[in-house]
Every structure is written in structure tokens, then in C-alpha cells.
Amino acid sequence: MEFNLAYLYPELLNIYGDKGNILAIQQRCLWRGINLNIHKINPGDKINPDLYDFYFIGGGQDQQQLMIADELQTQKNALTEAADSNDAVFLAICGGYQLLGEYYKPANKDKVPGLEIMDTYTIAGNKRYIGNVTVNTEFSCNDIKTLVGFENHSGLTYLRGDTKPLGVVSTGNGNNAEDNTEGGVYKNVFGSYLHGSLLPKNPHFTDYLISLAGKRKYNDNFKLEALDDKIELFAHNRVINKKY
Ligand code: GLN
């Protein structure tokens, strides 16, 4: 078995080591004998929505988001088809997450149009939220229902319509430091403010995403054998127990 992952604009949107999310998916597939083929998508490349099982877009400062916004608009139809019709699995972090919505309004600048894949919008606040975050989530492949990560954003994201939160914040700020939500979920599209990178310390969420892709591509009998996650969960629990 194998999966194909489109890594969107790695040269521009990859701050705080967000590439670590792809490495976590790749390694947890490899440990089960599944190959993950990573295809970098750079400005000017044309996305074929029938090729990919996963899409990843990382975080970036306002400047990179502005640089990539027009290019992303050229991919809007393909990425919308991937999300809406093909049920591909998306993971978007921070700046990339913001660009999945209707728009991102940076401070003192015009709105940056988003992909409108997720019914959200983001407005830059006048405060930067930086720090460790712990979240209670339902999106897990086992009985561990927490996510941990690190946030660094001034954007305030608001969920609308059928967009569900990835989880409820127990430590930190999450989407907007007001409604206690963190991240957004729409079909198989997942957005989050959690850097870290997110997936290595949250193996149960990584396997949840891989299982979604496996059931979609192969069949509902697709199963991931359990791994020894002692080290990953040691790191996870240090954040939960605030030993950082
Ligand atoms: N520029 C956006 C913000 O500050 C996203 C930052 C990021 O990707 N860490 O909210």
C-alpha cells in the first residue's frame, strides 16, 4: 500500500518545523509497511486533485501568506475538488489553516482571500498568542483524547456553519482566545494553530488521519496495527503535566 501527499509551498509556508508533521505521517506509515510519496507543490505547479490522498500546508508569517495568496487562488478549484468531492485528508497549520477560510485580514492590510474550503474567517488581533496549548479532542484513533502543541499567532479565527472545532482548549488560547475552540474540521479537512510540530507528540491523531486516508483509498477494513508510542507519549504527557 502507498499514499501520495501534496506538500503545498514548502519553501514559503514551513515555520516552526511544521514539516515534522509530514515526517510523522511518513514514519508511522513506514512502520506499517506503507509508503508515503511526498510531492512538493511549488508556485506555478498545477495540482491534479485525483493524485493525492493527503494535502499539507504549514504556517507562515503574514509576508509569506501574502506572497502565496494569489498562487493559492489559482489552485482553488483543484483543492476544493480534493476536499469536497474526493474526501482527501488535509492538514493545515496556523497560516496555512487561516488560508483555508474565506479570508485572512492582516493588521493594517487588506483582506487576503482564502480558499473557502472551510467556513471560517480570520482577523489579525493586536496581541500575539505564544505558548504551549493543550486541547481535548474527539479526533483520536484510541482512548487518548488530548492534543498538545505550541501556538504563535496574532490571527483570530472564527468558525462558522458546518465547521467543527478540532477541540476545546484547556491550556492556551486556540482559535481566538474567546470561544475556547482550537482548530477547525470540515469533512476530512483539519486545521490547527498547533505548531510543535503537531503530529509527532500526538501519535493518536496522526494515526487517526492515516486511518481516514486508508479507509478512503482502500476500504473500511483498513486497520493500523498499534505501535509502541512510549517515547511520543512521554513528550505528550510532559506538556499535559506542564513539565516544560
Ligand atoms: N501570520 C499568521 C498570524 O500571525 C500566522 C502565523 C503562523 O503561521 N505561525 O496569525
**pLDDT tens digits for range 57-110:** 999 999 999 999 999 999 999 999 999 999 999 999 999 999 999 999 999 999
| Three-class secondary structure of residue 24 per DSSP | helix
Ligand 1, residue 128: give the atom nearest the CA. 4
Positive or negative: CA dihedral 148, 205, 167, 192: positive
pLDDT, residue 206, reads: 98
| pLDDT surpassing 90 at residue 244 | no
Report the residue among 13, 61, 99, 111 best suited for mutation to probe ligand 1: largest number of ligand atoms under 8 A from its CB. Answer: 61
pLDDT (tens digit, 9 = 90+) per residue, 153-177? 999 999 999 999 999 999 999 999 9
For residue 155 and ligand 1, the question of a CB distance below 6 A is answered with: yes
From ligand 1's centre to the CA of 194, what distance in Å? 11
Task: Report pLDDT for 16.
Answer: 84
DSSP for 211-228? HHHHHHHT-TT--PPP--
Please give the tally of structural domains in the chain: 1
Q: Is the CB of 94 under 6 A from ligand 1?
A: yes
Confidence of residue 121 (pLDDT cuts 50, 70, 90): very high
Cell numbers at 37, concatenated = 510519496
User: Which residues participate in catalysis according to the annotation?
Assistant: 94, 195
pLDDT of res. 84: 98
Cα 53–Cα 58–Cα 61 angle in degrees, nearest 5: 155
CATH number, domain containing residue 116: 3.40.50.880
Check whether 49 has a pLDDT greater than 90. Answer: yes
Please check the confidence at residue 190 and state whether its pLDDT lies above 90: yes
Query: What pLDDT is stored for residue 14 in this prediction?
Result: 86
| Domain carrying residue 156 | 2-241
Mutate-to-test residue for ligand 1 from 98, 104, 120, 151, highest number of ligand atoms within 8 A of CB: 98
Tell me if 167 CB under 6 Å of ligand 1.
no
pTM value > 0.95? yes
